[in-house]
Structure 1
Amino acid sequence: MQNVLYLKDASIYQGDNLVLSDINIEINKGEFVYLIGKTGTGKSSFMKTLYADLPLTKGEGSIVDFNLRTLKEKEIPFLRRKLGVVFQDFKLLTDRTINDNLMFVLKATGWKNKKEMSTRVEEVLNKVDMKTKGFKFPHELSGGEQQRVAIARALLNDPELILADEPTGNLDPQTSIEVMEVLQEINKNGNTILMATHDYALLLKYPSKTLKCDENQVFEVVQRKTTL
């Protein structure tokens, strides 16, 4: 199996504060992995380290073939092109349409050909069932629709790994399930996904490999099969 994320004896710091220590995990290509844990247990710091918002200063770590320990400032944009990041609060640009939001990302990541860019925008919106909404502005969409667009944006550069940080955190239960269905479908198509969540109902409905942050540790949780 090819791994897209590998951490060995890694520790994560927020400034001088130790957040997580002695992390030993692997995520392989094509996996869907949950990251769970109470608020304040280090889920966000863990995610930030993966997309190089926080440096990895202790241990070994590689993500989509980038070494997190030796990563240079100038390499960070190239790392982020191989990652798709989905945030809880969507982070869409409110002053432009959905199509223009996605075009903006393509321009920022080096795309030049207008026709290819338009085709790519159409493809990713189609994947999340939002093809007919590209002309709308973010405020004209529901929360669930905005999150679908955020997922489409994460797919633009065909990332090797999607990091979804509480993607259903601001959504009602029904909309959360709709967004999960989209993520499940993307995963079936071969995209690797690491999703931080505190929504345990989703874990029961869509069981998968689960990592837990607790007491400065990250470890894999073995899910027990429940019989009714």
Structure 2
Amino acid sequence: MSESILHLENVSVFQKENLVLNEINLEVKKGEFVYLIGKTGSGKSSFMKLLYGDLPLLEGSGHIVDFDLKTLKEKDIPYLRRKLGIVFQDFKLLPDRSINKNLRFVLKATGWTDDSLMDAKIEEVLGKVGMKTKGFKFPHELSGGEQQRIAIARALLNDPELILADEPTGNLDPQTSVEVMKVLQEINATGRTILMATHDYALILKYPSKTLKCDGNKVFEVVQKAV
């Protein structure tokens, strides 16, 4: 039996006083690739924020990568995020420094100190996303697809147990989306768990996998044929 990476029971998600999602019961097991779909405003981003500690868990119980979301303290959040790789739609790269320095900044911020180990890690993650030769470039010198690959590389720096990708292809054209998707598929094939929020149904049809849907304040699993 594969272990559970994410387990939620009767969870409600609030933005301030507003109830966004309720009665969420779900489990994601180690090594799964799971889509999270739903219309804009259906609660996908709020759901993601709950998972990486940006919104508190007020109702229900939840565990993610060995952290209890109900008892999560402010000081625990950086440690939780080290076990999660988070990929955003808008890349969130620092524009004033090269790709290598972007990645080094994250390593230093998460406690790395040894220069040679940092260099080796940066080379390793850039290799995984096919960007080994681009480390000296600045973000504005890269295409959107290349920037998103760098964002995925950044998410891999601390060997996360779970990657949360929030609309990672949202700003990309269809061809580039497929390229980024292939990178995520390769990462998943190495045994890493990925939860990806998307509204790109073409990708889901091309790469079918377990799919959760946000709709009517609920999150539930959908059968592929119904998409």
Q: Distance in 1 between matches of 2:215 and 2:226?
A: 22
Task: Find the residue that maps to 2:146 and give its secondary structure.
Answer: helix
1:206 aligns to 2:207 (yes or no): yes
The TM-score with structure 1 as length reference comes to 0.98
Q: Which residue of 1 aligns with 2:148?
A: 147
**Displacement of 1:94:** 0.2
**Displacement of 1:223:** 1.1
The correspondence of residues 77-116 of structure 1 with structure 2, limited to 5 A, is 77-116=78-117
Q: Distance in 2 between matches of 1:111 and 1:176?
A: 32
Q: Percent identity?
A: 75
Matched pairs, number: 226
Task: Find the residue that maps to 2:186 and give its secondary structure.
Answer: helix
Q: Which residue of 1 aligns with 2:43?
A: 42
Q: Distance in 1 between matches of 2:73 and 2:56?
A: 10
The correspondence of residues 1-228 of structure 1 with structure 2, limited to 5 A, is 1-224=2-225
* Cα deviation code 1:51-98 (max 9, x no counterpart): 000001000001000000000010000000000000000000000000
Which residue identity lines up with residue 190 of structure 2 in the other structure?
A: N
Q: Distance in 1 between matches of 2:19 and 2:226?
A: 34
The TM-score with structure 2 as length reference comes to 0.99
Q: Cα RMSD (Å) of the superposition?
A: 1.0
Task: Find the residue that maps to 2:225 and give its secondary structure.
Answer: coil
Q: Distance in 1 between matches of 2:204 and 2:224?
A: 9
Q: Which runs of 5+ in 2 are unaligned?
A: none
State the 4+ residue runs in structure 1 displaced beyond 3 angstroms: none
Q: Distance in 1 between matches of 2:92 and 2:226?
A: 37
Q: Distance in 1 between matches of 2:225 and 2:196?
A: 20
Task: Find the residue that maps to 1:147 and give its secondary structure.
Answer: helix
Task: Find the residue that maps to 1:40 and give its secondary structure.
Answer: coil
Q: Distance in 2 between matches of 1:72 and 1:44?
A: 21
Q: Distance in 2 between matches of 1:38 and 1:189?
A: 30
